[in-house]
Amino acid sequence: MAFEMLFTHQANADMDELEAGRAHAKRLKAVRKALGYLQINPRHPGLNTHKYMSLSGPKGEDVFEAYAENKTPGAYRIFWYYGPSKDAITIIAITPHP
């Protein structure tokens, strides 16, 4: 089963920023690959998905962090939650890890 992927305004802005420049081509490719894995299997081992304790969704949903990159300075992470329907995932943000 593939999940429907929904993006918040912030997540759309994050993707627009990645898509805007050639300097981000490698990162954009990694983020798109991670989103593909997330859509098919949120627990894919390459995503290192884990619950993110500092955030919750708009209705108190558990928020998860998935890796788009690993062992890279400023590696990108994808923050998401299940919903609003049982077959949907909402992407909150796509950001570099500090």
Rounded to whole angstroms, what are the CA distances from 32 to 54, 58, 62? Answer: 25, 25, 23
Spatial CA neighbour of 91 closest among 13, 29, 11:
11
Q: What per-residue confidence (pLDDT) applies to 23?
A: 62
Q: What per-residue confidence (pLDDT) applies to 22?
A: 64
Q: What per-residue confidence (pLDDT) applies to 46?
A: 93
Token pair belonging to 68: 């788009």
pLDDT tens per residue across span 15-71: 998 888 766 788 899 999 999 999 999 999 999 999 999 888 989 999 999 999 887
Distance of CA 41 to the CA centre of its chain: 13
| 37 or 73, which is more confident | 37
Label each residue of 13-56 as H, E or C.
HHHHHHHHCHHHHHHHHHHHHHHHHHHHCCCCHHHCCEEEEEEE
- pLDDT band of residue 72 (cuts 50, 70, 90) is confident
What does pTM read for this prediction? 0.92
Q: What per-residue confidence (pLDDT) applies to 97?
A: 79
